[in-house]
Structure 1
Amino acid sequence: MIRSLILAFVLAASPALADDDYMPPVTHPATLEECSACHMAYPAGFLPARS
């Protein structure tokens, strides 16, 4: 019984530990003006390296 509770707790808490890739919102005025004219202004870290 206790083993099942521990397993349930670990499985329930694991998504919170996996979310470590926080990217701050885009705040640079020129980037917001150019990039958000036709789509959402993505943080540069989400773009592929070739961009």
Structure 2
Amino acid sequence: MSTITPLSGHIAWHPVAAAAQLPKRSKLLAKEVQEGKIKIVAAKYDIDDGKVTLLK
């Protein structure tokens, strides 16, 4: 069972914040998102088991 720590909370928050910033910092990405051509998502890769978990 995993324990929530300040570091694990930050690890979950950072990719979500970074994904939200991408279309704000790139006109090209913003256009592609707006047109529905791409979707930017945040995810966490677990190096221990190789699983990728999408974050909301």
Query: TM-score scaled by structure 2?
Result: 0.34
TM-score by length of 1: 0.36
Instruction: Return the structure number with greater strand share.
Output: 2
**Structure with greater Cα Rg:** 1
